[in-house]
Amino acid sequence: MAILIVDDEPVNTMVLEQLLHQHDYETVSVSSGEDALALLMDPQAPSLYDLVLLDVEMPGISGIETCKRIRQMTGYEELPVIMVSGRTEEKQIAEGLDAEASDYTTKPIKITELLARIRSALRYKAAVDERKKYEARLQYDLDLAQKIQQSALTPPISSAEIDMRALYLPSKKLAGDMYAWFQVAPDRYGVIIFDVMGHGVSSALITMGIRSILPGLVANVQYPVDVMTELNRQMTFLFSGDDMQSYFTAVYCYIDTTNQRIEYVNAGHPPVIVTSPEGMTRLETTGVPVGMFEEPNYESKEIKITPGMVLHMYTDGLMECYSKDIDDGIRWLEKDIATYGLDYARHVAERLVPKIEIDDDLCLVTVKLI
C-alpha cells in the first residue's frame, strides 16, 4: 500500500517523497490531476493506495476538481484525501472540504503537522477497511442464511385431488414468515403458515428452528390441537427463564380428502379465506399466538370440503399491502380474491406489490381442493 502524491512541482514532490520514505511510507507520484485520475481508474488501484496528498493549484484539472472526481469513482468514496495548498483563505479551505477532502494543510509544509495528519487519516482508513471486511463477512453470512431459508420452502404439490402453491416475498434477506405442507398419508395433508414476531435475523432464526421440527412433528401427531400445543411447548421452553420473549401466529390445517373434511387451529393468525362455488367464508382465530402462554388451551374447528374449494392462507404483510387497518385490509383482500380467483397470487406479485414499498414479510399459500 502506498501514498499517492499529486503535485505539478517536481521540487515539492521530491521533498514529500524523501520525508515520507524516512518514515517508512511507500509513495507513487504523478504531476497532474488527469494523471492521478487515470492511475486510479486501474481496477487494481483501490487496493494499492491508502491516501492521496493532493496539491490544490495545478494546471489543467485543479486539485478541488480532482478530489470531486475521485469521490465519484467506485471504491474511493472513503479514500483519505489531504489537500495541500499555498493559500490559506477560508473560502479555498471551505471549497476543498466541500469537495469531500478528508483534511487540508498549507504550504510551507510543517513536517510534524503533516505526519500527524497522515497518521490520523491512515487510522481512519484502517478502521474503514476493517469495517468493510466485517460487512463483507456479514453479507456472506446473510446470503448463505437466505439460501438455506429458501431451500426450506416446500415445493408445490399438484395431484388429482389437491393443488398447493405459495408466494413468498421477504421484506429483507431473511424472513420471519414461513409455510410448509406435508403429505402424511396418501389421502391426508398437513398445511401450516406462521409468522414470527419481529423482523430480520432473530425472527428468521426462530423461524428456521420451528421449520426444522415440523416434519417429525406432523408425521407423528395427527390432530391440529396437538401440533399447536407441542409447538407452544417448544417455544415456551426455548424462552423459559429468559428476559426475552418471542411468539408466532399460525394456522395449521389437517386435510382429509377421503372423508372430505378439514380440521384446523388458528393461533392468533389472520383468518384463512375460503372460496367455493357456494361463496366466501373465513376461518377465524381459535386460540392465542404460539409461545405467548404456557397453557394456551387450543381448540380446533372443522369444515367440510366441497368441490372447487380454495383456501387462501396468508400473513399480515399481505393485509398491510392494502391497509394498516386490519379489518380494511382483510376486506380489500377478499375483494381481490373474488375478482382474480386462482390468479390472485399472480396479481399480488405482478401488480399489487410492485406499486408499494413492503416493510413486512409477505406469504400467501393457496390450497385448491379438486
Sign of CA dihedral 155, 210, 147, 219: negative
What confidence score (pLDDT) does residue 222 get? Answer: 86
pLDDT at 213 over 70: yes
Mean pLDDT over residues 284-303, rounded? 94
pTM for the predicted model, two decimal places: 0.78
The set of residues, in sequence order, having a beta carbon less than 8 Å from that of 349 and lying 6+ positions away, is 167, 169
pLDDT of amino acid 242: 63
Asked whether the beta carbons of 73 and 64 are under 8 A apart, the reply is no
Q: Classify 119 as helix, strand or coil.
A: helix
Q: For residues 361 and 317, what is the distance between their CA atoms, to the nearest angstrom?
A: 5
The dihedral region occupied by 308, where left means phi > 0, alpha psi between -120 and 50, and beta the remainder, is left
Q: What pLDDT is stored for residue 312 in this prediction?
A: 98
Contacts of 66 (CB under 8 A, 6+ apart): 6, 33, 36, 37, 54, 58
> pLDDT tens across 135-150, in order?
999 999 989 998 999 9
Domains in the chain (CATH in brackets) are 2-143 (3.40.50.2300), 152-369 (3.60.40.10)
Arithmetic mean of pLDDT, 211-220: 94
Given a cut of 70, whether residue 241 has pLDDT beyond it is: no
Per the model's pLDDT, the better-predicted residue between 328 and 360 turns out to be 328
The confidence score (pLDDT) of residue 81 equals 96
pLDDT tens across 299-336, in order? 999 999 999 999 999 999 999 999 999 999 999 999 99
Q: Which residues contact 173 (CB under 8 A, 6 or more apart)?
A: 142, 143, 145, 146
- State the average pLDDT for the chain: 93
At which residue does the C-alpha cell 515539492 appear?
12
